[in-house]
Structures are given as structure tokens and as C-alpha cells.
Amino acid sequence: MIQLIRGFKDILPEEAALWQAVERTAAHLFENFGFSEIRVPIMERTELFARSIGEGTDIVEKEMYTFSDRKGELITLRPEATACVARSYIQHKLYAAEPVRKFYTIGPMFRRERPQKGRYRQFYQINAEVFGVASPLMDVQLIHMLTTLLGRLSVDDARVHLNSLGCPDCRPRFKAALLEHTAGVTDKLCADCKRRREVNPLRLLDCKVPDCRLAVADAPSMEDFLCEDCSSHFESVKQGLDGLGIPYIIDNRLVRGLDYYTRTTFEIQTSSLGAQSAVAGGGRYDGLVSALGGPETPAIGFAIGFDRLVEILALAGEVYGRNLDLFIAPLGAKAQESALIHAGALSCVGVSTEADFSGKSLKSLMKRADRLGARFVMIIGDAELEEACVVVRNMQTKEQVKVALEGLAEKVKEIVSSEQ
Ligand code: HAM
């Protein structure tokens, strides 16, 4: 038997209902916050990710699914969506008519990480990206939108971790201080961190290896190195969050795994997911659009780990089963033909309907209706066909009524809706 690729997974129908519910809630809320959906391809030129996420990052160095197509061009399955949305924004000059654009996009991402609970090689993200707003109030509004979504989904164990990574003016001074701080202990660092010191020293701060943690335990904090503009931006974000009553934790170790960030960065962490504690992450990337050849454009966004979010909801007992209004139990071949017609008509008027064409006994059909959780069962037998009617049974109260075939769909719809 051919099996799934390691780190990939199926989302089975029983789970898909929960995914759909989350997707609907997010899309509805984001649209009310002024966001529009954008759909971008899942493959892009490798260069797009190398330049956006950064050559020295784990994602670009070790985790991308990259291959050359038949003409020898290097292409990559997207490991994240921000670079793709920025590419699209620039390519289609989406800034031309209106400089402030807000997008959301939902879809699969691919990273060749070591699979474990909450970490997959194909995973899904819900992204929100804002282009053209420099104000820290946008940072606050975006975090507000994110926490509101989590609140609506009843995720109660979510903490906002907040940091500022400064800008190209002030960050080099911090990097230098970090290098100086770790200069005496390089031999104690893990192999990854030894390399990180050379290519991406900020990542020294979020290594999980105990010896590395010790080495940076009293490392300087970025906050002390922020230039005046970055510092006042950060203060305004904090004040804005305070004003909206959104609690947050200042986390100077939050450096994120992508190089494009400037100023505000944030993560939503929970304790219900074990090692994979980040359910969402994001921040400002004011330099990305211009680095990719577009106009100078401030930008900020986040991505929610859809798989992780659904896992939290499932842990909390959230289930969204199929809501089956009506099960049609036809007895005999003629009744099955009639069931086919009525099932079609009822489904079209908005009654969720399952018709059974197995030809089994009424007893076994009723068992199946029970298994499916049908609220009503419509029984069609020879006697009913002769009388030009059907019997509709309320599975909860066990009450039965006869309904004439004439105008059946509308009448049954009324019965089913009045009981909701
Ligand atoms: P990220 O932190 O790499 O940021 O990913 C965002 C979220 O995606 C993570 O917090 C996590 O929930 C989920 N995630 C990441 N990797 C995996 C995985 N292997 N398996 C399951 N879930 C995973 C970004 O991707 C940025 N593009 C976010 C962003 C948007 N920044 C600005 N705009």
C-alpha cells in the first residue's frame, strides 16, 4: 500500500468541518477589518525566498523544497506566504490606485523540518498582511484582530509575546554587542550557534540548547539599543495595546526565524501544544517591498499556524460535525427513485439531506440515520407512494407527520427549520 510522505498528513472529513469553521470565522472577521482575500501560487522562484527570508536562516539553508524544473530554473514550494504576497503586490502595482492595501490568504506551506506533534512538512497558515501603513497604531490593530479571532474561537490559553528588532540603523550595534558578549564562550555553543554567530547572530538568542541558553542568559537586550524612532514606535505599540486592554509579555528573546523583520515582532504562544508553543507569529517588514524592487512601503503582517490552532480547539473539545437535517429512508426500488428526486430538491432549498439507496430494511436504515445524527427521517414506502405522501419523523420527539408530495421540499424545509 502506498502511504503518505513523512511529515505530510490528510485532513479527514471529520476534521475538515472544524477547519472550515475556523476559516469562515477568520475570513469574516478579517473582511470586517478591511482585508480582502488574495490567492498566490504555492511555487515561486527560489530567489524570492532566499532574498526575503534571508540566506542565513534555517528555512532557506535547510528546510526548503527546492528543485530545478525541466529548463533548469530553480523553484521552491513556498515555505511561507509573506514573500509571495509582497511579490504579487509589486508585480501588479497593487499600490498604484490605493497605497494602503490589506490582504489575507489561507493555504499550505512547505518546510522540511523534523516532523513532530504540531510540526509538519506541509502545514497551513492563515496570513494577514498590511502594506502602506507606517503608524504603530496599525501594529496595535493587527494584534487586536488576531487576539479577537482567538477569542472568538475560544482559545483562552494564548499569550502575546512582544519585541522590537529595531531597524538597519540601530540593529548592527546590538549585533555587535551580542557578538562581544558571546566572544569568550564560543566553544560552549552548539554547532548551529557557532555558525549563527557568523551569519545570523540574533538567532543565538532563541536557541533551545541548554549550554547556549546559559551563554546568552545575561546577554544585552535589543530594547536598550533601539534608536529614538524605533523606541518611540515600540512605546506607542505598548500604549496602544494597553489602551485596548490587550495583555502582552515583553520578550527580548523573540527574534523570529526570518530576516525581513524590522521593529515590532510578536508571537502568540500557548502551553497546550507542548514544544511547538507558537500558534502565530508576525511583525513589521518595512524594508521588504523595496528590497524586492518595489517602492519604499512600510508593511506588517502575521501568520497563524492553522494546524496548531485546530489542534488546540480539538483539545478543548470543539467538534463541528456535519449537521444532517434529514435522512431519507426509501423502501423498495420505486421509493428509491422518488428519494433521489426529493433529495435533490431538498438539498437545493437548503436542507442538508442524505438519501440511502442500499435497499436495506427500515430497521437498518433507522440505525444508519441514528449513526449519522439525522434530526429527521423521511420514510417513503409503497403505501406512502400510493397516497402521494411521505412520513417525516422527528428523531428526538419521535413524532411523525404525513406530508403530501405536492410542494414537498418547501413543506419539509419548514418542518426542519421550525425545530432548529
Ligand atoms: P513563522 O513564525 O515562520 O512566520 O510561522 C508562523 C506560524 O506558522 C508559526 O507560529 C506556527 O504556528 C506555524 N508553523 C510554522 N512552521 C510550521 C510547521 N512546520 N508545522 C506546523 N506549523 C508551523 C511566518 O511564516 C511569517 N511569514 C509570518 C508573517 C506574516 N510575518 C509577517 N507576515
Given a cut of 90, whether residue 233 has pLDDT beyond it is yes
**Could you tell me the pTM of the whole model?**
0.91
Q: Is 106 in the pocket of ligand 1 (CB under 6 A)?
A: no
What percent of the chain is modeled with pLDDT above 70? 99
Q: Is 286 in the pocket of ligand 1 (CB under 6 A)?
A: no
Distances (CA, A) of 221 to 115, 153, 236, 394, 418: 32, 34, 19, 65, 62
Average pLDDT on 57-62 reads: 93
The mean pLDDT value of the chain amounts to 94
Average pLDDT on 73-91 reads: 98
The pLDDT of residue 315 is 84
The pLDDT of residue 212 is 87
Side by side, the strands of the sheet bearing 43-45 are 43-45, 74-77, 65-68
* 3-class DSSP state of 130: strand
Q: What are the cell numbers at 127?
A: 496570513
Alpha-carbon gap, residue 42 to 52, rounded angstroms: 16
Residue whose Cα lies nearest atom 23 of ligand 1: it is 305
Pairing mode, strands 326-330 and 299-305: unpaired
Q: Is 119 in the pocket of ligand 1 (CB under 6 A)?
A: yes
Given a cut of 90, whether residue 162 has pLDDT beyond it is yes
Given a cut of 90, whether residue 283 has pLDDT beyond it is yes
Ligand 1 pocket test, pick from 52, 64, 80, 150 with the greatest ligand atom count within 8 Å of Cβ, gives 80
Q: What are the cell numbers at 237?
A: 505599540
**In the block, which residue shows the cell 506541509?**
122
Identify the bridge partners of residue 53 per DSSP, sorted by sequence position.
none
Q: Is 262 exposed, middle or buried (0-12, 13-18, 19+ CB in 10 A)?
A: buried
Average pLDDT on 98-107 reads: 96
Side by side, the strands of the sheet bearing 389-394 are 353-355, 326-330, 376-380, 389-394, 400-404
Task: Identify the CA nearest to 128 among candidates 246, 34, 230.
Answer: 34
The pLDDT of residue 314 is 86
Band of residue 420 on the pLDDT scale cut at 50, 70, 90: low
113-147 pLDDT, tens per residue?
A: 999 989 999 999 999 999 999 999 999 999 999 99
Question: For the ranges 20-34, 164-178, 264-278, 285-299, which has the lowest average pLDDT?
Answer: 264-278
Band of residue 215 on the pLDDT scale cut at 50, 70, 90: confident
Alpha-carbon gap, residue 118 to 74, rounded angstroms: 29
Ligand 1 pocket test, pick from 109, 138, 285 with the greatest ligand atom count within 8 Å of Cβ, gives 109
Cβ 412 vs Cβ 403: under 8 Å = yes
Expressed in angstroms and rounded, the spacing between residue 258 Cα and the centre of ligand 1 is 10
Alpha-carbon gap, residue 264 to 161, rounded angstroms: 11
Band of residue 419 on the pLDDT scale cut at 50, 70, 90: low
Distances (CA, A) of 81 to 78, 110, 124, 266, 292: 7, 10, 10, 17, 14
Given a cut of 80, whether residue 154 has pLDDT beyond it is yes
311-342 pLDDT, tens per residue?
A: 999 888 777 766 799 999 999 999 999 999 99
Average pLDDT on 194-220 reads: 86
Expressed in angstroms and rounded, the spacing between residue 127 Cα and the centre of ligand 1 is 9
Given a cut of 90, whether residue 67 has pLDDT beyond it is yes
The pLDDT of residue 37 is 98
Ligand 1 pocket test, pick from 57, 60, 123 with the greatest ligand atom count within 8 Å of Cβ, gives 123
The pLDDT of residue 418 is 83
349-405 pLDDT, tens per residue?
A: 999 999 999 999 999 999 999 999 999 999 999 888 899 999 999 999 999 999 999
Q: What is the atom index within ligand 1 of the atom nearest the CA of 120?
A: 20
Band of residue 168 on the pLDDT scale cut at 50, 70, 90: very high
Alpha-carbon gap, residue 258 to 39, rounded angstroms: 22
Q: Is 79 in the pocket of ligand 1 (CB under 6 A)?
A: no
The pLDDT of residue 401 is 95
Residue whose Cα lies nearest atom 10 of ligand 1: it is 280
The pLDDT of residue 275 is 76
Alpha-carbon gap, residue 191 to 198, rounded angstroms: 12
Q: DSSP states of 152-174 as a string?
A: HTT--S-EEEEEE---TTTHHHH
Length of the chain: 420
Average pLDDT on 51-61 reads: 93
**In the block, which residue shows the cell 502506498?**
2
Cβ 206 vs Cβ 190: under 8 Å = no
| Helix, strand, coil fractions of the chain, as percent rounded to 5 | 40, 20, 35
**What stretches of 89-205 adopt beta strand conformation (E)?**
101-110, 122-131, 159-164
Alpha-carbon gap, residue 269 to 275, rounded angstroms: 11
Phi/psi for 199 (5° steps) reads -100, -30
Alpha-carbon gap, residue 101 to 88, rounded angstroms: 12
